[in-house]
Structure 1
Amino acid sequence: MSFGSPNNPYGQPQNPQQGYGYPQQGQQPGYGYPQAPGVPPQGAYGYPQDQGYAGPPAPRVASMGRRFGARLIDGAVFAVIYGVLAVVGVAGAVGEAKNCDPNAVDYNTCINNAGSDFAAKFGAIIGVLAIIGLLYEWLMVGLVGRTLGKMAVGLHVVNAETGGKPGLGKSFIRWIIPTVGSVLCGIGQLLVYLSPFWDKSGRQQGWHDKAAGTMVIQN
């Protein structure tokens, strides 16, 4: 009966790990199951890892209900501003009209001047509102990613590619498109704000979002 070679007289395996359930060289240790072929590696929070990126879960696309609520709140803010400016303008025009003496020869001229002054003030109010609207929407979305209305309902406007703040360039494009649409009695603006309903990408991007490369997400 042979007991093996002189260097191994008892016939034991050369590698003591073989045959006792130990992993061989190049094999995974026995702590868990090996990854099944064809299954993508898992990223953060259990989501499939996309091309080696293990980041947080995909953001939630903002619902149209929240977006509508944000617009209502922002509209209420502008309504208050417009109301204050309108009251100031009307009060000034009425005050000038009261200063016109009905018995004076130039009474009609005085009233006409008061009316012209009111029209000029009304035009100035519209101009001030346009500037406020530009600065409010453009700067807040570009630099903060949110207006007061969006803050109230938990929405953010982000760069659709990076997820960061849009920046002033994208924010301006996003603002100017519905603003130009408002020239046609507001119909174009309404269509722009309704356009996310027709987006098939799953991001619910409006025409202004697609042009600017932005999207709206919620907390």
Structure 2
Amino acid sequence: MSFGDPNNPYGQQPGQPPQGPPQGQPGYGYPQQAPQGVPQQGYGYPQQQPGYPPQTGYPQQPGQPYGGGYPQGQPGYGGGVPELAHWGLRAGGLIIDGLIIGTPYLLLVGIGGAMGDAAGGILALLGFLVMIGLTLWQLYQEGTTGQTIGKKAVGIRVLREADGRPLGFGMAFVRRLAHFLDSIACYIGWLWPLWDEKKQTFADKVCSSVVIRSK
């Protein structure tokens, strides 16, 4: 019984051209064929894991809003150019906020002044503390949501000009201080939105804020 020539494993006859491995059998160094029904993966490419989004090769940059541009869900932004609030709406919101903050203060100070004794002084001090507390609370609301009670009543919102996000408490406080610039020179800064292209006061320009309509 012959087991074949070990130097001629495929039974090649002398004088015939070299032959490759038998049909269906992979040669040495070639990748094995995947079983039927199993998708083949290219060499060097990671396999796609089920339940994960496809890999594009362009990872999203950290901190970049999804989709680019203005953030999703911000009123007035992300869906086109926002409508800027006109001067009348801004003035109406300011008057309402002034009444909300000033009325308790004036009421308590007036009662305290009429009493004229130690209890009256305590009421006047309480009125001052209430005014400070309401002012800080309004600034917090403006910084986190873009709206005070007055702005919400007239349907306007103050946001950052760069990305349409709320100012934050710190910048809302700075913007309130910057209204000093609107009051100097005969209060011309408060009237500047009447003819300004972006309807901004001097404080808005310093803090890079805009006031838009929210409804």
TM-score, with structure 1 as normaliser: 0.53
- Measure how far apart 1:216 and its partner are: 0.2
Distance change (3 Å), C-alpha of 1:129 and 1:175: farther
**C-alpha spacing 1:121/1:150, structure 2 compared with 1 (3 Å):** same
Alpha carbons of structure 1 residues 127 and 191: separation in structure 2 relative to 1, 3 Å: farther
Moved more, 155-164 or 133-142: 133-142
Instruction: Deviation per CA, 1:6-45: give whole Å up to 9, x if none.
Output: xxxxxxxxxxxxxxxxxxxxxxxxxxxxxxxxxxxxxxxx
1:209 matched to 2:198? The reply is no
Amino acid at match of 1:209: D
1:152 aligned counterpart, secondary structure? helix
Residue correspondence of structure 1 range 39-78 to structure 2 within 5 A: 55-78=78-101
SS of the residue corresponding to residue 210 of structure 2 reads strand
For 1:1-219, list aligned pairs within 5 A.
55-93=78-116, 96=117, 122=124, 124=125, 127-128=128-129, 131-132=132-133, 134-178=135-179, 180=180, 190-199=187-196, 202-218=197-213, 219=215
Q: Provide the aligned C-alpha RMSD in A.
A: 3.2
* Farther off after superposition, 54-63 or 209-218: 54-63
* 2:20 corresponds to: none
The runs of 4+ residues in structure 1 deviating greater than 4 Å are 52-55, 117-122, 186-189
- Give the TM-score of the pair, scaled to structure 2: 0.54
Give the percent of matched residue pairs that are identical in Structure 1 and Structure 2. Answer: 29
Residue 10 (structure 2) aligns with: none
1:62 partner letter? A
Alignment deviations for residues 144-187 of structure 1 (CA, whole Å, 9 cap, x no partner) = 21011110110001111111111123211210122x459xxx65
The 1:191/1:125 distance shift into structure 2, 3 A limit, reads farther
Change (3 A) 1:127 1:146: same
Q: Deviations over 1:80-122 (max 9, x none)?
A: 21232223412441xx3xxxxxxxxxxxxxxxxx7xx967975
SS at match of 1:161: coil
In structure 2, what residue type is equivalent to 1:71? L
- 1: CA distance between counterparts of 2:128 and 2:141? 20
Determine the C-alpha separation between the residues in 1 that align with 2:123 and 2:136: 21
Distance 1:195 1:136, change over 3 A: farther
Give the superposition deviation at 1:53. Answer: 5.8
Q: Which has the higher helix share?
A: 1
SS at match of 1:61: coil
Partner of 2:58: none
Unaligned 5+ segments in structure 2 are: 1-67, 71-77
Deviations 1:173-213 (A, max 9, x none): 210122x459xxx65683332222342xx211111111111
